[in-house]
């Protein structure tokens, strides 16, 4: 491991050996519907609460990823996980039965990059032989907690995003078809956006800061990459991000993709500004991005998940929405 510049870590030995994605019905009907490992026709997953359904998504994602390696949970030294629910109960209850040391993480919708970045650092340093990064979100548990109970039938703002019912899990070890070459962990960025129905705008400055830090540290620019994926900025946040980068003299637009815009068809699926939630970037990473890298169809990718670190309480108290973004540089494995 080596530090490059102020914010970036260069890794030698962190490979992704297996990954799995689990999505709900609406996600399976989107443009990437055929890419995911498992699709749940019933978003309750046979559970008696949305929270338990979301926990089940994480359980299925980890089981599926382990299954691809024919590995038992004991093969993992750590699982790094987190989610949007209060006290991260999807992770706790979803992963409780596995008996793997748990490093609980909180990064809101940036969680996939946070858990995967830290897992990669732990494997690269020898602290772990193998670690799993897991996260999830569920439309119904998120609506109830952050906005309104579904039964209320609240109107959604045009800038609002649709929380994905989805989970992703990635296993990191010293071999595998995809490599984590670099990691940049982000700082909080807060330009004062207070509209909780416009999280894309709140998170865009964080994505811009982390991307600029990475480009500066590595002396590279967007055209050096096949694609730069952000987590879930949606339409509003993606436009803002490209404008913010433009102001800094960086032309991101030609290579920029956003997981929130890839997961759903905005024309047909009524998701307003796009998808969001920890499970959005997690499922797009595991269902779409990592397979393209493993197949050699992309050679050089940045994955910058973004999170909005507010709570309903902080918003009610008039606070603005702090954003954060963590970034991974991914390539097919060398040699």
Position of tokens 């109107």? 155
Residues in 104-143 that interact with a copy of itself by CB under 8 A: 104-108, 114, 118, 121-122, 124-127, 129
144/158 Cα distance (integer angstroms): 19
| DSSP one-letter string for 231-253 | SS-HHHHHHHHHHHHHHTT---G
Q: Are strands 166-173 and 162-163 parallel, antiparallel or unpaired?
A: unpaired
Binding segment toward a copy of itself, per CB under 8 A, in 32-40, 92-100, 152-160, 298-306 = 92-100
Residue 85 is a binding residue for a copy of itself (CB under 8 A) = yes
Q: How far apart are CA 204 and CA 32, in angstroms?
A: 24
**Binding of a copy of itself by 61 (CB under 8 A):** no
Looking only at residues 29 through 48 of this chain, which bind a copy of itself when binding is defined by CB under 8 A? 48
Q: Map tokens 């494995």 to a residue.
A: 333
Q: Which range binds a copy of itself by CB under 8 A, 223-231, 259-267, 285-293, 306-314? A: 306-314
CA distance 237 to 179: 28
Identity of the residue, 210 or 235, whose beta carbon is nearer to a copy of itself in the bound complex: 210
Using the rule CB under 8 A, give the single segment among 63-71, 157-165, 294-302, 316-324 that binds a copy of itself: 316-324
Among 3, 68, 268, 299, contact with a copy of itself (rule: CB under 8 A): 3
Please state, in angstroms and as integers, the Cα–Cα distance from residue 199 to each residue in 31, 84, 95, 280, following that order.
23, 14, 28, 14
Please report how close the Cβ of residue 282 comes to a copy of itself at its closest, in angstroms: 16
How far apart, in whole angstroms, are the C-alpha atoms of residue 231 and residue 211?
A: 12
Residue ranges in contact with a copy of itself by CB under 8 A: 1-3, 7, 9, 48-49, 51-52, 77-78, 82, 84-89, 91-93, 95-96, 99-108, 114, 118, 121-122, 124-127, 129, 185-188, 190, 309-314, 317, 319, 322, 324
């Amino acid at each position: 491991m080596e530090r490059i510049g102020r914010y970036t870590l260069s890794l030698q030995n962190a490979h992704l050996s297996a990954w799995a994605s689990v999505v709900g019905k609406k996600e399976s009907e989107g443009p990437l519907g055929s890419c995911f490992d498992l699709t749940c026709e019933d978003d309750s997953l046979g559970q008696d609460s949305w929270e338990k359904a979301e926990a089940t998504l994480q359980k299925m994602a980890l089981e599926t990823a382990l299954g691809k390696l024919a590995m038992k949970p004991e093969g993992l030294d750590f699982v790094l996980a987190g989610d949007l629910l209060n006290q991260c109960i999807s992770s706790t209850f979803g992963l409780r039965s596995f008996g793997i040391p748990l490093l609980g993480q909180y990064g809101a919708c940036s969680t996939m990059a946070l858990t995967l970045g830290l897992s990669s650092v732990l494997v690269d340093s020898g602290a772990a032989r193998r670690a799993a990064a897991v996260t999830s979100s569920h439309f119904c548990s998120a609506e109830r907690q952050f906005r309104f109970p579904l039964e209320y039938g609240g109107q959604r703002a045009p800038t609002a995003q649709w929380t994905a019912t989805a989970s992703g899990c990635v296993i990191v070890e010293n071999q595998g078809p995809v490599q984590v070459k670099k990691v940049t962990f982000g700082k909080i960025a807060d330009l004062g956006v207070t509209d909780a129905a416009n999280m894309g705008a709140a998170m865009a400055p964080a994505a811009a800061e982390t991307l600029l830090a990475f480009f500066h540290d590595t002396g590279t620019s967007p055209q050096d990459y096949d694609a730069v994926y952000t987590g879930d900025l949606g339409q509003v946040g993606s436009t803002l991000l490209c404008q913010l980068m433009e102001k800094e003299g960086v032309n991101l637009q030609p290579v920029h993709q956003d997981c929130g815009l890839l997961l759903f068809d905005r024309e047909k699926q009524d998701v307003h500004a796009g998808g969001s939630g920890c499970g959005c970037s997690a499922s797009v990473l595991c269902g779409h991005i990592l397979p393209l890298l493993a197949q050699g169809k992309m050679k050089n990718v940045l994955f910058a998940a973004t999170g909005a670190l507010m709570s309903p309480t902080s918003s009610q108290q008039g606070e603005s929405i702090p954003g954060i973004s963590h970034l991974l540089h991914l390539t097919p494995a060398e040699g």
